[in-house]
Structure formats: C-alpha cells, structure tokens
Structure 1
Amino acid sequence: MVLTAEQHHPNIKIFVSAHKQATFPEGNSIVPVQVGAANAATRFTNTLHDDEGVNISAENPRYCELTAQYWAWKNEDADYYGFCHYRRYFDFTDTPHKENDYGEIIDSYIDNHALAEYGINDDAIARAVDGWDVITTPLNDVRRIGGFSNLKQHWDADEHLRLKDLRHMYDILCARHPDYKVDADAVLNGRTAAFCNMFIMRKDIFFEYNEWLFPLLDEFAAATDFSRMDVQTTRTVGHLSERLLNIFIVHKQRTGAHWKIKRLQCVHFLHPEPATVLKPLDAGYKNVVPVVFAADNNYVPMLTTTIYSMLKNASKDRSYDVIVLERNISDENKQNIRQFFERFPNAVIRFFDVSRYLAGFNLTTSNAHISIETYYRFIIQEALPFYSKLLYLDCDLVVNGDAAELFDIELGDNAIAAVPDIDFIGNLNMKNGERAGYVRKQLHMRDAYGYFQAGVLVMNLERMRKIHTVHEWLEIASKPGYIYNDQDILNVECEGLVTYLDYSWNVMHNCAGRVNGVFDFAPANVYKAYMTSRKAPKIVHYAGFDKPWKNPWCDFASLYWSYAQETPFMAQMIATMSGVERPAPPEHHERAIAEDSPIRKYVDVLAPTGSKQRELMKVVARKVQGKR
C-alpha cells in the first residue's frame, strides 16, 4: 500500500525568496514569497508577499531574504521551516552531483527534468527532511574558494564587505551572549561554513534561532549608518546572518543540543526566469501577418534593417506580428528596436527566448556564414501554437514588396512554400558531380531539382507538426554530415510537400560571380526565371559570404543601404565595415568572487574545478587581493 502525501508527510514549508519573477516548482511544500514587496514597483500574482501581516518587508534592501524568514516566523505555521532562493534549491535526492568550487551544482533551467533530477517535489522533500532537526548546505572550505586562511579573510576579500562590520557584529554577539564567544572564534577563525542562507529547521529550533538572530541584527542595523553605502554593502545584514547561522549551530552542538544535522547539496540554476510564453495579438489587430526572424545580439543591425524594409513596404490595411527568436539580444537593443518601430502602428515587435528548446542538443553549422540561429525555425511550431501559418525570413535580406502578398499564397496541404535554390540546382549540373554525389549519399532526395532555398518560407505549421515534433526536428539537426544544415533537413523531410514561389520572392545576389559561374548551369527555364526576377525583386537575399555591410560594392548593395541608412544602427554597421571593433566591456577586478556573484557561471565554464586554468585564476586573484 502506498501512502498518500497527506497520510505520510509532515507539514513542511520551503519558502522560496524571490525579488524577481522566476519559474517556481509546484507542490504543497514549495511556498514562493516575494521579498521586499513593500518597496516593489510590481506585485507578483503567483507568490505570497512579505509585506502582509507582521513583517519587516521595507528592510529588504538591508536584510535581503531575511524579510521572508521573518515573515514566515511571524505569520506561518509548519512542522519544518525551510528557505531557498528563486535560483538556488536544495538537492533532495541521495544521488551525489558534481559541484563547483563554491559547493554548488550548476544547472540551467527549472524544468520537469531538473525537478526530477534533484527531487524538488513533495515526496522527495518529505523523505529528505522527516526525522532530521537541521538541514543546511554542505560545509564549504574557503581554501577551496580562493585560498583563504579563514572566514574573516574570506569576508574581507569582498570589496563590498567591511571587516569593521564583522567585528561590530562579533562585539554585539559577545556582549549579548558571552557563552557564544568561543563558538564565534571557532567559526570565524575556521575555514568551513554553510553558505547561501539556506536551511531547513524543525519548528522549535527555527523559533529559537529567530529569537536569537533578529535582536542581534536589529542592534547592528540600528547602530550602522547605511546612508552612503552602495547597494551591495547595504546588504551587509544579510551577509552577517550567513555567518551567524553557522555560529548558532556550532554553539548548540557544543553545548549539548545533539541535533541530527544533515547537509544537502545546493543547486544553482543559471536561468530561473519564467519560460517565455507568447500569446495571440489582441482583437484590435486585424488581418494579422505573422513574420518570424532569428538573430543574435551581433546581428541586431541587420535584423533591424530587414524588418524595416518589410514594414516600410507593408500594407497599411494589415497588421504585422513580428517575432524575433533569440537567446542573447540585450535589453538595450530590444528597447532600441521597439522604439524605432513605434512609427509603424500596425506592427508589434516581440522577442522569444529559444534557449530552453535548444538545451541538450549539439547543434553546429558547416559553413562560416551560417549561424546557429538558423535552427531556431524548428521550434516555431511549438512556440507559436496559436498560428497555423506564418512567414519565416532570414535577416540577411531586404523585403522590397508587401509581405502580406507572400503570406496570402495558398499552400493547400503542403508544408512549405519556397523559391527553388538556383545555386544548389546549378551545382547539380556540374561535371565534377560533387553535389549530385552529396544528394545520393546524404540527402537521398527523389528529385533534387526540387531543392528549395530556406531563407524565405511560408510555413504551414499544422502540416509541419504532423511531420515531426520539435524534439524530432532538433534530433535530426544534431546529426552530422549536412552541408546546408537545416535547409538540407527541411528539403529532405518536406520533399513532395512544397509549393514553389516565383523567384522574385527570394532573389539571391551575385555572390562571388556565381550568376555566371553556378546559376547558369541550372536548367535553362530556371536560369531564365531567375534572371527575370532580378529586374523587379520583391525580396533580395544576400545569401553567402559577400554581405553589403561588409562589402558596399556587392550586388544589390545600394538597395540594402537605402534601408539600412534609416535605422538607428547605421553607425555601428559603418564602423564594423571600416574595421572598427566594438569596444570590450570595461574590466572589473574583484578581490574575490562572492558566492552569489553573477560572474561565477563564466568562471565555472572557462576554468572548471581542478583545471590548470582554475589554479592559475586563484593565484591571480590572490595577487589582486595583495596577499601572498
């Protein structure tokens, strides 16, 4: 017989402190709390709030996550009280996971896989907690973090923490509780501690801890001038509580508490933010033309030029839902793009982060001028479930006609509408037989002369969903051997389900003289149709290595710059073309990388634990600190 959660579980509440929106695990044991709610500009609708009932919410800039701890102490009832952060959780399983030097497991997203991996659910939490008195993160040795000799040195190494504040708290503690002096000395002169202010305690211990802790912190805060402190130094009270937690536990054990103490690993999620979810445009937008692009932060000027060309030639009687698939476009660039396109009231610019979809897939490209962003189109069918049809456009083109006309083309039961790829088709007729051999050995297409160019697509999403799931598309894309990557895959998987467009909808420019060196090898009717389309192109596609922002003399460059010069990124494009490199962000040398430092994830990637790079980084850090 399996017991239900209600029959077996003690009343465990793990309060998750959050000052920004995040993905919160579901479960009766998980209680998200917005901290600093009293001062917040936005009130979260999916959490409790630390400014309700008896609270110190207004003190959050100084007390940090302790405002949630105080609130839970005064307003909630449980058998066990636990505390995590919106990006840090306990690993409630018995399975050891690899840690970095800071004693943390590094993971990406709070998703179903991660929740199962680390047992972040009611059943696993109950099994891990029940029967224990106190649970903390593992004791970490500060020698491992940065070669520090003790916790005082570790504190002093942080540019935002002052040793005089730690001494002040030490004096307050020893004056209020003289019997704690030996324990404070042992902890602060020692090398190990549990960090992150994460713990789970039995109710009576939790209440005793708070009755001891907050008077100490309040006395420190009352005697401290915070008025000229920077934001990080203002958080000193929260940092002090980390050290005090360790002193409290050491003292209680030394004096005979005999608590059963457990150490659970800490999981640090690098991307706790909620998954991006797009919804249909509201009813005010009529006759919507959805158009999807894919770009990264470096491609923002070209993305903006392409969108601008499209909207400048767009019908005023239609609405345009412009969706950019991306992973790293900066907030500043997003804001600049949105502001620029406010001049088009019939268009909406939206961004969709595809990182979650691509996690776990090894996606590479075979050509230097083809970026990873090319694979983003595979996730469209799931990311935009409310659309059955849309346009997909590359960012290295300009739209010289009305995109609504392209969107309105009927596809019937076909999956895609596209222009035949005259470059690929021309290569099929080459004497060397390389492209024909590639088709025979890799693509296995029935009729390779039907191969289309995938930079301009009308996509029948309903049909695409029937062909493959997003996971299946990406699995196929992960396989090696494709020359043109996702374009090859689309041609193979959609063969026989293609509506062919007039060449004017995707006029590839004359890159490296290919019109008379490749295109003219295509069947006569294909070549003739292409040459006719050059006279009145609706879309010019700068496919290949020769781009107008690199070579202003390339084919159709003047057309491109007629649009690009009107965008706010023209100066950046000219600077890049002139060989002016974008300045690197200013360096900021930290004397130590704090346990909550945002740069830690880069350190872990560039210099993994145990590597020579890590040891060298430690030596450099010590020299920066002025220590031997």
Structure 2
Amino acid sequence: MLLMDLAIFGAQAIALGAYEAIHHLCPERKIHCFLVTEQGNNTEYCAGIPVLELTAFSAGLSVSEKEQLQILIATPEDVMQAIEASLDACGLTCHVRLTSLRWAELMGYYYVQNRLYMPILALPVGYHPAGVHIFQARFHKDKPLSSTYDLPAWITPIQVGAALCEKRVADIVDCSGENISEKNVNYSELTALYWIWKNRLSASGTQGKTEYYGLSHYRRILELTEEDLLRLVDHQVDVVLPYPMPYEPDIEAHHRRYLKKEDWNAVLRAVLELQPDYADAFPGILKQRFLYNYNILLARKDVLADYCSWLFPILERVEQYSVPQGWNRKDRYIGYVGETLETLYFMYHKDSLRIAHAGCRFLT
C-alpha cells in the first residue's frame, strides 16, 4: 500500500508528540513539515523539520502535490474546525483530526514500545474495585460545551473561585470548609486540589490502598473506563497521570515562556529552602523533555495527601518570593508552577511509586 506524504498542522506539544510517535512507529511515513497559521512565536524548526506558514506553503504546491498530501491536525480540538476551513481554502482537502482520544492511543503505543510511561491499559484487568473520586473543576465563566457528555459516576463537579462570585455552577464549592478559594485568580484549578486535600483526604473512613482521589478540568478529564478502575487495586497503582507531553528543547525552556524570570527564581528558591533533596534533582528533571500538564491526576488517598503536603507549602513560599508577590496579582501563574512541581514530584518518585498513565480527553 502506497502511503501518502504527511504534514502536521501544529507546532506545539500535541504536534511534536504525534511526530515522534509516527516517526518511531511508522518510519517509512515521510513527514514534510509542521504547518501553522502564522509563524508568531513558533520556532523555525521542530524535531529537525521546518515549521512553515500555511498560505506560503500551499502556494508553492501544484494541484497534484496537494492531492497527494495528507494533513494531520494536531492541535487543541476547539480550533480544529477553523483549521479545516483554512486548509480547504488552500486546496488541501485531505486532512484528518488527531483528537485527544486518538492522540492518547497513538502515544500509548509509542510509550509502550519505548518503555517510557506505562499505560494503565497495559495492565491486566483485576478483580477488586477501587473507590474513585475525581473532582472536576468548574468556573463560573466557563463557556458552555457544544456537545452533551454523560460524566462517569466517579466524577463530581466542584466550583473553583466560588468565594469570588455569587453565581453557582456546582453543588460543591471550593469556598466551603478549609479553603483558599480567594486565591483562584493565581492558583486556577489548584484551589480545588487544596479543598480535596483539606476536606476529603483528612476525613476518617476507608484508608490506604483502595481509595483514590483526583482532579480534572471542565474541558479535560482522564479517560478511564470501568475496567481501568479494576486495574488500580490489584496492581497496586499509586497514581494515574495523563500521558506527558514532549517539549523542545526541554521543559525548563517551555515554562520560561509562561513565567517571568523573577517568578522562576522564586520557584527555585522555594524548592531549595523547603525540599533540598528535590532541589538537587530539579536541574536534571528540568532538562528532560516530558511534562505532566494541567495539574490533572488520580492517586491513592495517602499518596495524594503526601503530594499535597509537599506541594502547597512550596506554592505559598513562591507567592512570597515572586515579583510582584502573589496576593498583588491575578495572572494564574501559580497554576503553571504547579505543573512543573507535579512533574518534579512524580519524576523524582518514578522508582518508588507505581505510576500508570491514561489519555486526557478534551471536551468540546
């Protein structure tokens, strides 16, 4: 079977992951380039192949060449429809969406072959069910979804930043009990994680190896099945994380795009002061390419409690050292810091914790 040549629309982590997986799993497939609407802040090359603007690239192709080229759209799903219209307008009509579920399936195959990040699907189905409680962060300004989704029984909505408004979009709010709801402007979904830590993980009841708690977003949820829940206890899974995303040249450079130098220095200082053992490992982890995005996770109750006890004192110290200080700003920067610290924590414990991975479904 003759394979069509391929171009990938997108030049960020989703597209880079797709390129690496396809290049490894199907090396005979020729990938011409990455395509973007505008060069903007994109690099000129990604994974050693050019990043080109769509209009200029398509203008240099003949009708026959356009017919022989397939475009893989590897971007967030909420912009795919507009990208399809742009491709059609340029005469590039052979295109396919790499949805979040397809991306997860592709990366799962890739990671299994490379023995990098174990998919939960690689574990045999067990017999003992886990008690799973995932809280889905919702905000009063979230745009309505265009499609209707039936959430699994183990996902419960929680309104974040509820202390900052009167409107209610969930029965559970992060301003009840012990909370930091008023910090949502900087902490984003992490105010929900703090609420889980203080109001669920410390509660009496079933402990230990069979209770799992976690966090997801309004538009992003861990893609887990009933069978996956039967894999947790029997295989002593400590935590389930989304498949990590690759960045070039490394995750430190990626996060420097989102954090000011003063804030980044505050992160390094806080980790060094509060967790010196992790500070020693931090440079090596920052220089690798894989990042756990979104602050999304599912972990055994005791494991999540340990993580939160480690995480939130560091974030509080970052607020003190950042410029301007955390209580004088509203730019969600602590949420970005949380992604880096989640990566640090679980990469540091990759040999002491049993970590499984799942896809992260994007709801549109």
> What TM-score comes out, normalization by structure 2 length?
0.56
Matched, 1:267 2:364: no
Q: CA deviation at 1:227?
A: 7.7
1:197, 1:242 within 8 Å by CA — same for their partners in 2? yes
Compared CA separation, residues 8 and 75, structure 1 to 2 (3 A): same
| Paired position in structure 2 for 1:37 | 162
Match of 1:80 in 2: 212
Matched ranges for 1:392-407 at <5 A: none
Residue 69 of structure 1 is matched in structure 2 by: 193
In the aligned structure 1, how far is the partner of 2:340 from the partner of 2:185? 18
| 2:272 matched residue in structure 1 | 174
CA distance, structure 2, for counterparts of residue 227 and residue 139 of structure 1:
28
Aligned to 1:76, the other structure's residue is in SS state: helix
Residues 25 and 35 (structure 1), Cα distance of their counterparts in 2 relative to 1, 3 Å cut: farther
Check 1:52–1:80 CA distance in 2 against 1; reply closer, same or farther (3 A cut): same
Q: Does 1:151 align with 2:251?
A: yes
Q: Does the residue aligned with 2:175 lie in a helix, a strand or coil?
A: coil
Q: Distance in 1 between matches of 2:240 and 2:155?
A: 16
Q: Please name the residue that 1:248 is paired with.
A: 345
- Counterpart contact for 2:266–2:321, Cα < 8 Å: no
Contact kept? 2:320, 2:326, Cα under 8 Å: no
User: What pairs with 1:498-513 in structure 2 (closer than 5 Å)?
Assistant: none
Q: Which position in structure 1 is the counterpart of 2:62?
A: none
**1:139 aligned to which of 213, 222, 244:** 244
| Closer, same or farther: CA 170–125 of 1 in aligned 2, 3 Å | same
- Cα drift, residue 36 of structure 1: 0.4
Change (3 A) 1:138 1:27: closer
d(CA) in 2 for partners of 1:140, 1:41:
36
User: Is the 8 Å Cα contact of residues 17 and 84 (structure 1) preserved in structure 2?
Assistant: yes
Tell me which stretches of 4 or more aligned residues in structure 1 moved more than 6 Å.
227-230
What is the identity, as a one-letter code, of the residue corresponding to 1:244?
L
Does the 8 A contact of 2:133 with 2:214 survive in 1?
yes
CA–CA distance in structure 2, aligned partners of residues 244 and 228 of structure 1 = 20
Question: Which of 282, 298, 302 is the matching residue for 1:184?
Answer: 282
- Shift of residue 58, structure 1, vs aligned partner: 0.7
* Partner Cα separation in structure 2 for residue 245 and residue 136 of structure 1: 10
Given the alignment, which residue of 294, 304, 317 partners 1:196?
294
Q: Where does residue 55 of structure 1 map in the other structure? A: 179
- Report sequence identity in percent: 27
CA contact (8 A) 2:186 2:326 kept: no
1:479-508 superposed Cα distances (whole Å, 9 cap, x missing partner): xxxxxxxxxxxxxxxxxxxxxxxxxxxxxx
Please give the alpha-carbon distance, in whole angstroms, between the structure 1 residues aligned to 2:311 and 2:295.
13
Give 1:206's aligned residue: 304
Could you say what secondary structure the match of 2:178 adopts?
A: coil
1:25–1:59 CA distance, 2 compared to 1 (3 A): farther
Q: State how far apart, in whole Å, the 1-side matches of 2:149 and 2:174 are.
A: 17
Aligned in 2, Cα 1:66/1:202: closer, same or farther, shift over 3 Å? same
Question: Which runs of 5 or more residues in structure 1 are unaligned?
Answer: 1-6, 93-118, 143-147, 272-628
Paired with 1:180 and 1:149, the residues of 2 have a C-alpha distance of 22
Query: Separation in 1 of the partners of 2:150 and 2:134?
Result: 11
Find 1:12's aligned residue among 132, 137, 152: 132
SS in structure 2 opposite 1:31?
A: strand
Deviations 1:422-472 (A, max 9, x none): xxxxxxxxxxxxxxxxxxxxxxxxxxxxxxxxxxxxxxxxxxxxxxxxxxx
- The alpha carbon displacement at 1:63 in A equals 0.9
- Provide the C-alpha distance between the structure 2 equivalents of 1:227 and 1:48, rounded to a whole number of angstroms: 26
Distance in 2 between the 1:25 and 1:53 partners? 28
How far, CA to CA, are the matches of 2:326 and 2:178 in structure 1?
Answer: 26
Aligned pairs for 1:393-472 within 5 A: none
1:5-27 deviation line (CA, Å, top 9, x unaligned): xx953221011011146566444
The worse-fitting range, judged by mean Cα deviation, of 166-175 and 81-90 is: 166-175
SS at match of 2:168: coil
Contact 2:188 2:335 in 1 (8 A): yes
Aligned equivalents of 1:206 and 1:249: distance in 2? 11
- The size of the alignment, in residue pairs, is 222
- Larger RCO (CA within 8 A; separation ≥ 6): 2
In 1: Cα distance, 2:230 partner to 2:254 partner: 35
Residue segments in structure 2 that go unaligned for 5+ positions in a row: 1-126
Q: What is the TM-score of this pair, normalised by structure 1? A: 0.33
- Match for residue 315 of structure 2? 217
